[in-house]
Structure 1
């Protein structure tokens, strides 16, 4: 399956506003990728596909979680998290995506994870800071993303945790683990080339 076919497949899955969001995520991901040395083709593909299953019925996603042996604790957390791991499985099969880095970036774009790859961080942040996003704290994360990807990821995770806690919602354990890992990474001295 070529890029045009994948693009059309995604467009058909999404309402107009979410398709426009996806296009902005692609643009943002490519900008971030160019800045930090991530392969722009990988970034473009992961960004294009990140919300492929976002509007699938809950029952369909639940069936895939159960049938594919995805983490069952997902089912005890908000349905908003499901489309990312489900999407990684589906695009592997339906859209013939074999790049594990791209699949991981899709899989973890809602939760983060410990030891995120640069591509993971690019997609996670591109989804969070694309120009159409308007919510408290997004400008600070955009500014941080221009200087330090790790600081921007940490701030976005912090914002997410505060948002969920203030609303009395559960926090997915992988998100807490991702946040703690980012704290450890930032506190450790990094080689000079990584801090540029």
Structure 2
């Protein structure tokens, strides 16, 4: 897939402020990926397309969910969750992207999920910590992201869950499963680190 085509097509879907956010997410994701020795191409594709449908009407997003193989329970949760899964469908059907890792990174960039790949983690975190974001708890996540992707993502998911609870909003179950899974991953990593020390 020609990246220039993706860039132009995405730019046409959103206001300039969201386009600039997309570029910052791309740059942040590439920085994280470089530290991890990842292939930059799938990182670039997923970051460009992650918000492709962000400004589509809710009615169109809902209809796409109903007509696709996406989980229908999405419609029972916050509309902010809808654009990622629909963008993954668009990436597949309109742009011919078949790499499941890229499609998952787009689909789950807002909710997260149990068993996230490195690419999924990078896109999720880059969207969360890109330089223009400013909200409580963000500096701690940025600091963790410099050394440990899993710990940073765990903290970010916990912040997100607490934010939703404080506002009396429902938490999408895959987000809770992602948090629990990462809690186990971090605990296992810490155990292995202690064993290596002794």
Q: TM-score range by the shorter chain?
A: over 0.9
Q: TM-score, normalised by structure 2?
A: 0.94
Distance in 2 of aligned mates of 1:115 and 1:5: 31
Instruction: Compute the RMSD of aligned alpha carbons.
Output: 1.1
Runs of 4+ in 1 over 4 A off after TM superposition: none
Task: Name the residue aligned to 2:50.
Answer: 50
- The DSSP-based 3-state class of the residue aligned with 1:189 is helix
Distance in 2 of aligned mates of 1:39 and 1:14: 27
Distance in 2 of aligned mates of 1:14 and 1:173: 29
Task: Name the residue aligned to 2:138.
Answer: 138
* Aligned positions, number: 192
Task: Name the residue aligned to 2:61.
Answer: 61
Distance in 1 of aligned mates of 2:158 and 2:61: 27
Q: Write out aligned runs for 1:1-196 (5 A).
A: 1-189=1-189
Q: TM-score, normalised by structure 1?
A: 0.95
- The DSSP-based 3-state class of the residue aligned with 2:31 is helix
- The DSSP-based 3-state class of the residue aligned with 1:24 is helix
Q: What CA deviation, in whole Å up to 9, does each residue of 1:2-42 have, x standing for no partner?
A: 11111100000011000000000000000000001221111
Task: Name the residue aligned to 2:196.
Answer: none
Unaligned runs of 5+ in 1: none
Q: 1:69 Cα deviation (Å)?
A: 2.3
- The DSSP-based 3-state class of the residue aligned with 1:147 is coil
Q: Which range is displaced more, 97-106 or 13-22?
A: 97-106
